Amino acid sequence: MSLDASKPGGGPSAGPLPSRPAIPPGDRATYPSHEGPILRVRQLQASYAGNLALDLTALDLAAGEVVGVVGANGAGKSTLVNALLGWSRGAPRLAGQVELGGVRIDAWPTHQRVRAGLLLVPEGKLVFAQMNVEENLSRSQEPPTEPGRHLYSRDEVYDLFPRLKERRQHLGAQLSGGERQMLGIGRALMMGPKALLLDEPSIGLAPKLVDQVLQTLRTLASAGLAILLVEQNVRAAMEVVDRLVLIERGRMVLEGPAQTVGNDPRIAEAYLGATAGAHPTP
């Protein structure tokens, strides 16, 4: 997790950035309210054993915006969202600059980034199987209270996903794929995300559930949350995203409003054509 810390700021255009604190803030820290993108990524690189898996020049994510990240298997989509948190089940070498709400966080350990409001709903295992729904929906730590940051309560999560309330005494291991996805999102919301990253939330879900989960994201975004959505199911993603980013071999090759990018042959042929009518079935 050693990141390039020698360059302070790196020439920001929108006024001087607060200098990166040498140590992560404690629980009581507050952040300066910030104009501009919630999440600002520059020159982000991740490599496994010397092979560059991700080389991203720039990516911004604004409040209330849903950005979709699409690309083939192994293109580096998961590597991207994981690198933003300095998190991985493997161990890539990371370099680059990540700012959350104007504060550089790229040298912080994962749990500090989470407490600061960068939340990831990972692919694969995303709930604690040996804990029930209610325990899964308990905060590990009280995040700092800041203006404009909403910490969802357990009841608010239940309002969003009534199914979880019905299942609240069930263990994580007993939940269906869709319920796990809801629980993963619910857990993230309870930490009061400023930016929410989701890695393939539709994988293995029935089409109806996919729509439900994606629509929920849309609702959350309209309440001001910034969302970065990694999705294989480009057709479904197109319905909810504002912007679309195409990643190939770790590089961003296309970026723009969903409608415009959707008409680009690189997306239309490779993803929409190929996946037409090919929704995954449970």
Partner 1 sequence: MNLLQQVLNGLVMGHAYALVAIGWTLLLGVARLVNFGHGQMYMLGAFVTWWAVVKAGVPYALAVPIAMACGALLGAGMQRVMLRATFEQNLVSIMIMTLGFGYVIHGAAALVFGSTGQILDTALSRQEITLGELWITAQDLAIVVATIAVFLGLRWLLDGTRIGRLVRMVAEDPKLAQLSGVDVRRVYYGVFAFEGAAVAFAAGMVAPRTPILTSMGFDEVIMTFVVVVFGGIGSVKGSYVAGVALGLFTALFGALVSPAYTTAAAFLALIALLVLRPGGLSAGAAGGVH
**By the criterion CB under 8 A, which residues form the site for partner 1?**
85, 87, 89, 91, 109-111, 114-115, 119-120, 122, 125-131, 135, 138-141, 143, 187, 191
**DSSP structure class, residue 20:** P
The label of the residue with tokens 């690309």 reads 71
Q: Are 85 and 118 in contact (CB under 8 A)?
A: yes
Amino acid occupying residue 190? M
Nearer to partner 1, 56 or 85 (CB): 85
Q: Minimum CB separation from partner 1 for residue 110, in Å?
A: 4
**DSSP structure class, residue 198:** E
Q: Minimum CB separation from partner 1 for residue 108, in Å?
A: 11
Q: Minimum CB separation from partner 1 for residue 120, in Å?
A: 6
Q: Minimum CB separation from partner 1 for residue 170, in Å?
A: 16
Nearer to partner 1, 76 or 186 (CB): 186
**Alpha-carbon distance values, 46 to 10, 20, 158, 194, 200 (Å):** 19, 21, 37, 23, 20
CA count, 13 A, side-chain hemisphere, 33: 4
Nearer to partner 1, 76 or 86 (CB): 86
> Rounded to an integer, what distance in angstroms lies between the CA atom of residue 263 and that of residue 187?
36
Q: Minimum CB separation from partner 1 for residue 28, in Å?
A: 15
Nearer to partner 1, 127 or 234 (CB): 127
Nearer to partner 1, 89 or 266 (CB): 89
Structure tokens at 59: 């990516």
